[in-house]
Amino acid sequence: MQHDLFSTNGSTSLIPLGEQSAILRGYALALDQQLVAEITAIVELAPWRRLQTPGGKSMSVVTTNSGDFGWHSDSKGYRYVATDPISQKPWPKMPAVLTDLARCAAAELGFRNFEADACLVNCYKPGTQMGLHQDRDEHSFSAPIVSISLGLPARFLWGGKVRTERPQRIELLHGDVVVWGGVDRLRFHGIAKLGDGQHPLLGAQRINLTLRRAGP
Ligand code: MD3
Ligand code: FE
């Protein structure tokens, strides 16, 4: 069973969120050092940057990308781009450990053959947050989204299909993997302001990897 490649001796638990979404608690724990090494390599080629919203505000998180497409935002809008606007080069290649982990995690919820082509890397320092939003810049919403949490814990805001529905707050921990697809793919979601703390591997930060199918 491929699941066992990524779980620590059967200690991963599946916590349902919605009908077609769940937390795989600790699913990436055994890979944490390898994932941090891959993030370090990505950041050497495509350094952290603070994006501007189309309305001209700075986002509080800093980001970079890996894969065929990277998520970008500026005065021209939110979109995926095949070239890093800073280096004018393709984004760093997606590490196999990420595409493999995403495919296996998606399969745990019944989403077969998920082939991620974009990995957005978000870095949160204490005091930073991400407001409620939907992910709808992808070509199609038929593929799921897989996210990997590393470093400090965060309160994930799990909203409804409309912005006005009050979100539930759910703690995401180092090593957690979350899968969203199907009817839950367009749910509103966000991250509450990150608290202070020190993580043994990452210090005073949280890094989230979001694996998506951006292209056709
Ligand atoms: C729920 N990132 O980058 S995990 C984002 O932790 C983003 O950095 C957060 O939301 C983070 O867009 C939350 C990802 C996530 C991604 C897609 C979703 C949660 C989702 C789609 C539907 C529902
Ligand atoms: Fe999102």
pLDDT of residue 182: 98
Query: What confidence tens digit (pLDDT) does each residue in 9-52 have?
Result: 467 899 999 999 999 999 999 999 999 999 999 999 999 999 99
Check if 103 has its Cβ closer than 6 Å to any atom of ligand 1: no
Q: Looking at residue 66, which CATH number applies to its domain?
A: 2.60.120.590
**In the chain, which stretches have pLDDT less than 70?**
1-10
Domain count, the chain: 1
**Is the CB–ligand 1 distance for residue 180 below 6 Å?**
yes
pLDDT on residue 160: 95
Ligand 1 centroid to 190 CA: how many Å? 7
Q: Residue 11's pLDDT is what?
A: 72
- Domain range enclosing 154: 4-212
Secondary structure (H, E, C), the chain:
CCHHHHCCCCCCEEEEEECCEEEEECCCHHHHHHHHHHHHHHHHHCCCECCECCCCCECCCEEEEEECEEEEEECCEEEEECECCCCCCECCCCCHHHHHHHHHHHHHCCCCCCCCCEEEEEEECCCCCEEEECCCCCCCCCCCEEEEEEECCEEEEECCCCCCCCCEEEEECCCCEEEECHHHCCCCEEECCCCCCCECCCECCEEEEEEECCCC
Q: Does the CB atom of residue 208 touch ligand 1 within 6 A?
A: yes
